[in-house]
Structure 1
Amino acid sequence: MSDALARPTGAGGSAPPRTNAVVAVLAFAGIVVSLMQTLVIPIVAELPTLLDAPASDTAWAVTATLLAAAVATPVIGRLGDMFGKRRMLLVSVVLLIVGSVVCAMADTLVPMIIGRVLQGLASGVIPLGISIMRDELPAERLASATALMSASLGVGGALGLPAAALIADNLDWHALFWVSAGLGVVALALVLALVPESRVRTGGRFDFVGAVGMAAGLVSLLLAISKGADWGWGSGTTIGLFAAAVVILLAWGWFELRTTQPLVDLRTTARRQVLVTNLASIAVGVAMFSMSLVIPQLLQLPSQTGYGLGQSMLTAGLVMAPSGLVMMVTAPVSAAVSKARGPKVTLMIGALIVAAGYGLNILLMSEVWHFVLVSCVIGAGIGFTYGSMPALIMGAVPASETAAANSLNTLMRSIGTSSASAIAGVILAQLTIDFGGIALPSENGFKVVLAVGAGAALLAFAVASFIPRQRTAGDPAPVTGGTADPAEMAAKS
């Protein structure tokens, strides 16, 4: 029996050795990688002084990570399907460690950007971890484990902000990256010791032309979205990048449909269940990130504005931290709902909870505990939505394409979060008040962004309603369009 058709050890009815350890290690690795999203937030305002560079240039310390992650996530996913998911997981963690060390030793802008790019290249860890779980875990454990792994993206971001603020307030800023490197080393050692290599692989030839085309298209798109406010939405550069993204991605899609071994199987991606889930993921990304943009600002704005609470960055981080814990707690609940009613229902419930959280925030925004409550409600909704997405994707693709398909879904969420940042930036820049000669976002501006977050969640609910009904989250066999999973067929034969 070939590797591509082999049923991995432990994917049958009995649990493989150390199943709990595998789940814990993969979730920990996901949290460590997701920490990089909030790692530099406490020092963003100080970077021009720390790196002796203009603020417009130091902003690339954030943008570079976003662009690198967008390019690396689908590429690493495809390489994982071809050459081994654990192998590419280890490569990703090593990139995180090297990038963290480069940043930790940086005192100028160029090495900082290089290090942040390397950190961004590690973003494939979460979809790879989900794919390893599909290959190695018994069906009864799969739903809860993948829900936890998917939620680790939000958990790391929520827990990273207070931790980073605490380190930045009490230690030299380089310590942020030494801690990141240390956590990466721990994750690497645990993966080497406890995570098995999957035998489910596609083999074949890597699509370099497709990778270059996708990278060019995504970089053009995300660069226009993330820098459009700085350059001007009507500037030639921004419009040119949007136009280039459209042309390149259309040409890339045409090429991918005609190559025998594409980077992304667009025919699989076009299956209704995969396509609609990915569209809903973009809306969920917008809904999730709106909270991260509004709550810390409201907490830190001066109380003299009448709506700011005058709190420190550390306090703002601590207010957000419980949402990450709530995401972790709701992961098994999400899996239970998916098992009983299907992951489509779980996604729709989560979207409604997120929308309710934003509605609550519009009414309650005058006390610190208001924001703790709101962040927990939204975190619960995100836990439901993130927990359901891997089940929906895995329910429509063969095991040999799991990593690539989950990576694409992760990319869709990233596009949503990038769009949320751009949308909120435009709104808050237009709706301002004069505070001692300084233009600050107004209370109405924040409420509009919160309303956008609620609207995005309701859009995700509406889009998710078009997902075909699925049997259960724990059954990874495709149920819509296409052929049966070859690994499943081999196991039954």
Structure 2
Amino acid sequence: MAALRDRLTVPVLAFGGILMAVMQTVVVPLLPDLPRLTGASAGAVSWMVTATLLAGAVLTPVLGRAGDMYGKKRVLLLALGMMTLGALMCALTSDIRVLIAARALQGAAAAVVPLSISILRDELPPDRTGSAVALMSSTVGIGAALGLPLAALIVQYANWHVMFWATTALGAIGTTLAWWSVRESPVREPGRFDTLGALGLAVGLSCLLLGVSQGGQWGWTSPRILGLLVGCVCVLGLWWAQQLRARRPLVDLKLATSPRVALPHVAALLTGFAFYANSLVTAQLVQAPKETGYGLGLSIVATGLIMLPGGVIMLLLSPVSARLSAARGARVTLAVGTLIIALGYGIRIIDSRDLWVIILASAVCATGTTLSYSALPTLILRAVPAGQTASANGVNVLMRTIGQAVSSAAVAAILVHHTSLVGGAPIATLHGYLLAFAMAGTVALVACAAALVIPADPAIPGARRTSTGTEAPRDEALEGA
């Protein structure tokens, strides 16, 4: 029985990562109909996405730090449980206030991937760690690619609450399997939890992401947006000073600002920006009316199916990315991945009218994202002590989230300023989409440059421990070149 549990550790944790991405994605096909279904305004309905984004950004580094201190499995189960509870609340209500609160609760699931990566680093033998971490990193894209068509099919052919009942059942299965098969890591970072630091980070990030996500709707020069951005700078400035003085800070800023950690964080932000633009722009472009001259007029279900090959590619390529990192180094994998993302956008600029070219270019972007996302946690694991892996990877995932939020705002700003009337309605022009592709491709190239200047590895600070608590050699799979 123990051997079976050990064999199930990687697939169960990967299943949890896929569930997290599915939970974040399934609400997207519902957004156009939710005002009618809930009796709420379109602005209120948009908070079902914003609330998850804000909660995930705040809770990811906090739960990561809690996992390092109190036990990664314990906090992982907490995150999965909150995710499942949020799905159940959505299944039981049509009240927009409860729905928004439930979606905020589901934001805790964003911590599943960094916690799982840390567990894999602590528990697996060296020859399995690299491929397992690569698979875990790819679950974000796999789940997103699976979630959209699944949700669209349910919404089109069944009551919308069925979607949340289905995700509740999946969440309960994932939580139960994690409780049964995943061992608790003995690697801990003892100390007192930095409550003041957690509150400061929560307020600062909320101001930042709320300002970025609502800027297009409220107006970028409106007093609310300017106040949020100024407040973000002030609060995070005070938080930074507090973290430097704290004996046991929430985020070890001295470590986080070292080049071997800071540059992967910068690359994560840029990669998150480039990755998200592919999904966002492709979905809008193929659903545009045929009268535009470039749109395909596809349904939400067909749009989801277009994104599905990218998820399959991420699943199949994760072992390849691990082998590339082991042979050439994770920073080379990251550089190659971001370069491939830029190539995908180059294809989109050349031709965005033919369906097969759109699918091909999206698949190319998915290939680059697989390589990039698999390399990022590997770079972090090599650069931080074993007792800080969950919190450090939590910060890295946070940077991806911020990149995605900024990408969404930037794409929206470009498309809003490049529209024409089609059938009396303003529709984004092809030129606007091409500008968005060029912007995302340029950001991917900057991420490539950031990857190339990441310093080579010295010795990892802190040996890896086995599940029995004894010292073990460093992971050769994480060593790179």
TM norm. shorter chain > 0.5: yes
Is the Cα contact below 8 Å between 1:274 and 1:393 reproduced in 2?
yes
Alignment of 1:218-237 (within 5 A): 218-237=205-224
What are the superposed Cα offsets for residues 79-109 of structure 1, whole Å, 9 maximum, x if unpaired? 1001110011101111011100111111121
**For structure 2, which runs of at least 5 residues remain unmatched after alignment?**
474-481
Whichever residue aligns with residue 127 of structure 2, its letter is: E
Shift of 1:21: 1.4
Moved beyond 6 Å, runs of 4+: none
- Tell me the secondary structure at the aligned position of residue 33 of structure 2: helix
Offset from partner CA, 1:372-425 (integer Å, 9 cap, x none): 211111101000000001110000101100000000000000000000000001
Report the AA paired with residue 82 of structure 2: L
When the two chains are superposed, the root-mean-square deviation of aligned CA atoms in Å is: 1.6
Q: How far apart, CA to CA, are the structure 1 residues paired with 2:407 and 2:283?
A: 15
Whole-Å separation in 2 of the counterparts to 1:16 and 1:458: 44
Secondary structure at the counterpart of residue 357 of structure 1: helix
What is the aligned counterpart of 1:388 among 368, 372, 375?
Answer: 375
Q: Normalising by structure 1, report the TM-score.
A: 0.93
Return the letter of the residue paired with 1:338.
S
Alignment of 1:31-42 (within 5 A): 31-42=18-29
Query: How far apart are 1:17 and its partner, in Å?
Result: 6.3
Q: Residue in 2 aligned with 1:163?
A: 150
Partner of 2:471: 491
Q: Which of 441, 456, 467 matches 1:469?
A: 456
- Equivalent of residue 307 in structure 1, options 281, 289, 294: 294
Give the Cα separation in 2 of the matches to 1:17 and 1:168: 37
Letter in 1 for 2:288: L
Q: How much has 1:486 moved relative to structure 2?
A: 7.5
Equivalences for 1:82-481 in 2 at 5 Å?
82-470=69-457, 478=460
| CA distance in 1 between partners of 2:259 and 2:95 (Å) | 48
- The more displaced of 212-221 and 324-333 is 324-333
Q: Which amino acid is 2:72 matched to? A: K
Partner in structure 1 of residue 477 of structure 2: none
Report the CA distance between 1:367 and its aligned residue. Answer: 2.2
Moved more, 347-356 or 431-440: 431-440
The residue aligned with 1:57 is 44
Q: Structure 1: how far apart are the matches of 2:457 and 2:308?
A: 34
Correspondence for 1:10? none
- 1:132 maps to a residue whose letter is I
Kept in 1: contact 2:463–2:471 (CA 8 A): no
Contact 2:82 2:105 in 1 (8 A): yes
1:11 alignment counterpart: none
SS at structure 1 position matched to 2:180 = helix
Q: Is the 8 A contact 2:419 2:426 kept in 1?
A: yes
Q: Identity over aligned residues, as a percent?
A: 44
Q: How much does 1:364 deviate?
A: 2.3
> How many angstroms apart in 2 are the aligned matches of 1:336 and 1:136?
20
Cα pair 1:202 1:400 within 8 Å, conserved: yes
- Where does structure 1 lack aligned partners over 5 or more consecutive residues? 1-14, 472-476
Q: How far apart are the structure 1 equivalents of 2:7 and 2:326?
A: 20
Deviation track 1:129-156 (CA, whole Å, cap 9, x = no partner) reads 0000000001111111001001101111
- CA offset at residue 484 of structure 1? 3.7
CA displacement 1:217-249 (0-9 Å, x = unmatched)? 000000000001111011111111111111111
Partner Cα separation in structure 2 for residue 253 and residue 68 of structure 1: 20
- Write the letter of the residue equivalent to 1:491: E
Instruction: Kindly provide the CA deviation profile for residues 186-235 of structure 1, in whole angstroms up to 9, marking residues without a partner as x.
Output: 10111111111100011211110000000000000000000011110111
